[in-house]
């Protein structure tokens, strides 16, 4: 199971190229795909092939899998080479790959049913979560990765205002960074407001 957390950068530096998690990732990707398709087939009896395929692609996307890896704190177990250690543990692609590798290792150790039992409690949540993460993860992650790469530090988000009644509030969040930028965004919850603020920062920095 330890191999599931061994990134190729660590394996290469350690001289154990055959011990990275890429083969397990390859296996886990297929296991994940099967279980997600099985779930969608059973829960959408009238769903057409094209729509089911589109929904599957979103559920198994990097932001979704990275979120699940973060829930299990997989980043704390990742073995990374020197070049990846600073930003690697917050890189959603590395986290998503690690999750797939873990699933591959679980399949080899305990079989498909164990993978199904592990994943089943999350499938409905992940199926619904992609609507939110498609927007939130894109801008916040993009901004964080840019700041880490160029300034070796992450942006900060601060809730600065709440307006409206208890059931109809508008939240305002400001994202700041030591490099000097500050942008404020609003939304119906804190996550939406953070996403709006990050979007303004991303646009101002000229990121695509």
Q: Which of 15-24, 85-94, 97-106, 138-147 has the highest mean pLDDT?
A: 97-106
In the residue annotation, 29 being an active-site residue is answered as yes
Statement to judge: residues 88 and 179 lie in one domain: no
The closest of 206, 78, 86 to 149, measured between CA atoms, is 86
pTM over 0.85: no
Domain presence at residue 146: no
Q: Which of 84, 97, 100, 194 is catalytic?
A: 100
Distances (CA, A) of 81 to 4, 12, 85: 15, 8, 6
Does residue 47 carry a pLDDT above 70? yes
Q: What are the beta bridge partners of residue 186?
A: 172
For residue 57, is it within any domain? yes
Residue range 172-181: mean pLDDT, rounded: 95
Q: What letters, b where the CB count within 10 A reaches 16 and e where it falls short, cover 179-205? A: eeeebbbebeeebbbbbbbbbbbbeeb
Count of domains for the chain: 2
User: 20 catalytic, yes or no?
Assistant: no
Report the CATH number at residue 57.
1.10.1520.10
From 67, 95, 130, give the residue that closes a domain: 130
CA distance to 28, 99, 176, per residue, from 114 (Å) = 13, 15, 44
- SS3 of residue 177 by DSSP: coil
If asked whether residues 6 and 67 sit together in one domain, one would say yes
My answer on whether 66 and 112 are in the same domain is yes
Q: What would the pLDDT profile of 179-204 be if each residue is shown by its tens digit?
A: 999 999 998 888 888 988 998 999 99
pLDDT digits (tens, 9 = 90+) for 107-148: 999 999 999 999 988 887 777 665 555 555 568 888 988 999
What is the span of the domain harbouring residue 190? 155-204
CA distance 114 to 122: 14
Where among 130, 163, 192 does a domain terminate?
Answer: 130
CA pair distance 172, 161, nearest whole angstrom? 5
Same domain, 175 and 110: no
The pLDDT assigned to 130 comes to: 58
User: Is 167 a domain residue?
Assistant: yes
Which of these is catalytic: 29, 75, 97, 194?
29
């Amino acid at each position: 199971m330890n191999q599931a957390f061994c990134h190729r950068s660590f394996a290469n530096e350690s001289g154990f190229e055959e011990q990275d998690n890429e083969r397990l990732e390859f296996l886990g990707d297929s296991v994940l795909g099967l279980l997600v398709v099985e779930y969608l087939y059973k829960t959408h009896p009238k769903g057409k092939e094209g729509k089911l395929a589109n929904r599957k692609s979103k559920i198994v996307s990097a932001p979704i899998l990275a979120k699940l890896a973060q829930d299990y704190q997989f980043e704390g177990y990742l073995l990374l080479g020197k070049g990846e250690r600073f930003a690697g543990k917050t890189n959603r692609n590395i986290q998503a790959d690690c999750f797939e590798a873990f699933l591959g290792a679980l399949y080899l150790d305990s079989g498909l049913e164990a993978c199904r039992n592990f994943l089943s409690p999350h499938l409905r949540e992940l199926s619904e979560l992609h609507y939110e993460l498609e927007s939130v993860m894109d801008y916040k992650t993009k901004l964080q990765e840019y700041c880490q790469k160029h300034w070796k530090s992450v942006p900060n988000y601060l809730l600065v205002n709440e307006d409206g009644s208890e059931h109809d509030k508008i939240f305002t969040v400001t994202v700041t960074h030591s490099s000097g930028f500050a942008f404020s965004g609003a939304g119906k919850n804190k996550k939406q407001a953070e996403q709006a603020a990050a979007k303004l920062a991303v646009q101002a920095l000229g990121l695509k």
